[in-house]
Amino acid sequence: MKRSVYNAKKDTTLADPGVTVHCWYSNTIPTDTAYVYHDDDVANAKPEVLFGPGDGTVPEESLQICRGWLGSRVKIYEDMCHTCFLSSAAVVQDVVSLVTGQENFEGSMALAERKP
């Protein structure tokens, strides 16, 4: 099963999707980024967990992939965990602003604009 999931995803690209993307994330929470095994018996060994910035679930390196996409609009929220986005009043207000056409989000960075 694991091998089939890997094979299905290994050639997936993270290329610019060609549309404006609103990329919102937090990068101030310690997040697992690597596991180091100091024992050859990996099945029974306890790994050393290395931490880096992220949202507690997803490392910053993955969260900020959208920064390289043309037309991406990035907003970084402080100290917000991955699942906290679902119940955050600030995020809900930003979603409402987005869907009602009032997209001037304080703290949002508009990267290079996409030309029609």
Beta strands 73-76; 22-25: pairing state: parallel
In a domain, 3, yes or no: no
In a domain, 9, yes or no: no
Count of Cβ atoms closer than 10 Å to residue 25 Cβ: 19
What tens-digit pLDDT sequence spans the chain (116 residues)? Answer: 445 655 666 667 788 999 989 999 999 999 999 999 998 888 888 999 999 999 999 999 999 999 989 888 899 999 999 999 999 999 999 999 899 988 766 656 655 555 44
Domain total of the chain:
1
In a domain, 63, yes or no: yes
The domain of 47 spans 15-110
In a domain, 7, yes or no: no
pLDDT recorded at residue 10 = 67
pLDDT recorded at residue 80 = 95
Contact status, residue 108 vs residue 75, Cβ threshold 8 Å: yes
In a domain, 52, yes or no: yes
